[in-house]
Amino acid sequence: MKIATTLIVLLSILTGINMYSSFTERDRLETALRLLDERINRAEGNVLNVSEYVGNTIIDFERMEHMLENNIASILNQLEKHEHEKVYIQLKEEPKPIEETEVPAVENTPEPTNIDESPSIERFYDPETELHVPNIETIPVNPVVASCPRANNKLNKYISRLNIRRDYKFVVTYDIIDDEITNARFNNSVPANLKGAVIKFIDSFTRDGDVKDCKISIKVLEN
C-alpha cells in the first residue's frame, strides 16, 4: 500500500508540474502574441504615417513645380513684351594734328601803312533826298559758307515701329542740294526699311545751305 500511495503521489506531483508548465507556456505564448499584435499595429500605423507623409510630400512637390512653371511663364511673357530702347552713337571727329612749322626770325622793319583794300562803293546823287547814296549794285556781298547740319536725338521716332532682328552699325554720307537731302550712301548693308527711316531722320536736321559729303555714324540695336 505504501508503494502504491507513493506512486500516486508522485504521479500527482508530475501531473501538477506538467499542468503548471503548460499554463506557464500558454501564458508566455499569449503574452508574446499580444506583444506581436501591438508591434504589428504600431508598424501598420507607422507605414500609414509614412505613406501619408510621402503622399503629402509628392503633392507639395507638384505644387512647387506648378508654381515654378507659372513664375517662369510669367517672366518669359514679360521678357517678350519688353521693348529695348533704341540708341545711336555718333562718333566724335578726332581733331586733326597741328603741323609744326618753323617760325622765321623777326626782322625790325617799319610797319607798313594800312591800306584799305575794300572795294570802293559807287555813290550817286539823289535829287529827291539831295544826298549822295550808295549804288546797291556795287555793294559787295559776302558769300554764305554752308556747313553740314548738326544731328538731333530723334532717331527713335523714325525706327520705333521697325522690326530690327540684329544690330546695325554704319556710316551715312549724303549731300544737300537746293535744301534737299540727296545722294545718301551707306557704307554697310542695311535693310531698305531702315534706310528709309534713317533718310527721314537726316531730313529732319536743320539746314543752312548746300553742302556735300556730310557724314553721320549710326548704331541701331535689335528690338
**Tens-place pLDDT, residues 167-186:** 999 999 999 999 899 999 99
Determine the pLDDT at residue 107: 34
pLDDT > 90 fraction of the chain, expressed in percent and rounded: 26
Rg (CA), the chain: 55
Cβ proximity of 157 and 197 under 8 Å:
no
- The pLDDT value recorded for residue 193 is 94
Could you give the angle at the alpha carbon of 157 between the alpha carbons of 152 and 158, nearest 5°? Answer: 95
Please give the Cα distance from 12 to 195 (Å, whole number): 125
| Residue 136: pLDDT band with limits 50, 70, 90 | low
Residue 108 confidence class, pLDDT cut points 50, 70, 90: very low
Helix residue ranges per DSSP H, 82-191: 155-159
Position 130 confidence tier, pLDDT thresholds 50, 70, 90: low
Bridge partners, 177 (sequence order): 180
Q: According to the model, what pLDDT value does residue 90 have?
A: 59
- Within 13 Å, how many C-alpha atoms sit on residue 217's CB side? 6
Which pLDDT score is estimated for 196? 94
pLDDT tens digit sequence for 84-97: 555 555 566 666 65
- Judge whether residue 111 has pLDDT over 80: no
As a whole number, mean pLDDT of residues 61-76 equals 84
* 10 Cα distance to chain centroid: 106
Using alpha carbons only, what angle is made at residue 152 by residues 150 and 156, rounded to the nearest 5 degrees? 150
pTM of the model: 0.38
pLDDT digits (tens, 9 = 90+) for 23-45: 788 888 888 888 887 888 887 77
What are the angstrom distances between the C-alpha of 58 and each of 53, 65, 141?
A: 9, 10, 93
What grid cell was written down for 121? 562803293
